[in-house]
Chain A
């Protein structure tokens, strides 16, 4: 197995990010194609890993988040010092 310079790996990833396909990149470096093939396959797999959260999990999390926020809002109002009402001026009956 040939030793591939790290700069070549970096260049391949740059090319992938710029939209080049793995086939195009391999054709560009035929002398290192055997070594680059598994590298590029892994990189492509990493970008395509299907790991979306379930809708149920997302909704449950949002519910919990918003409920906690509502409790905090209520708590903040409760803690707010009550404003004193301005006293009515006394009527002087003199």
Chain B
């Protein structure tokens, strides 16, 4: 992903730990990163913690000279993506040790569970059943608000493949949401 001149200057100032530059980075990227993570993790408190962690890792990288060389946006996305994966790995480990605490399903059908007002939340919950690539595409497109071209560059795919992944993901979600919820 090509960096703009503006981003390169910002990055250089961040390397010197300039407070204004760091504040600007936080202002510019907090919401897109939050939204990206929120598309992958459906727990607001966890999303807040993981988003903050992305910025702390940027500082560690600056300190250890592992800082992004020229694409801050792409680098932050990569870190956010890894943090989400780490979160699910840890969660999976925790689940294995706490199996007996898991709650049984209440047995209601998806149709019964869906409330029109909660369609957004249901969509996010259903996203977990998509493939990893499909989740990435939706989170980057609608969370990070990246263009098809940017997503293609980040994921190392053609723009056509990204469009197809996006279409399949949405078709898959649509097929699992009852018609009455669509009117919401």
**A interface, CB within 8 angstroms of B:** 4, 6, 9-10, 13-14, 37-39, 41-43, 45-54, 57-58, 60-62, 64-66, 68-70, 72-73, 76
Contacts and interface: CB of A to CB of B under 8 A. Distances in A.
Nearest to B27: A62
Interface residues of A: mostly helix, strand, loop or mixed?
Answer: helix
B174 A73 contact: no
Contacts of A48: 120
A65 B55 contact: yes
Interface in B43-78: 47-48, 51-52, 55-56, 59, 62-63
Given A38-B174, A42-B173, A10 B55 contact: no
B163 to A, nearest CB: 5
Nearest to B167: A9
B144 interface: no
Interface residues of B, number: 40
Contacts, number: 112
Nearest to B123: A45
A91 B31 CA distance: 66
A1 B118 CA distance: 26
B177 interface: yes
A46 B23 contact: no
A69 B22 contact: yes
Contacts of B170: 9, 13, 39, 42-43, 46
A49 B166 contact: no
B149 to A, nearest CB: 12
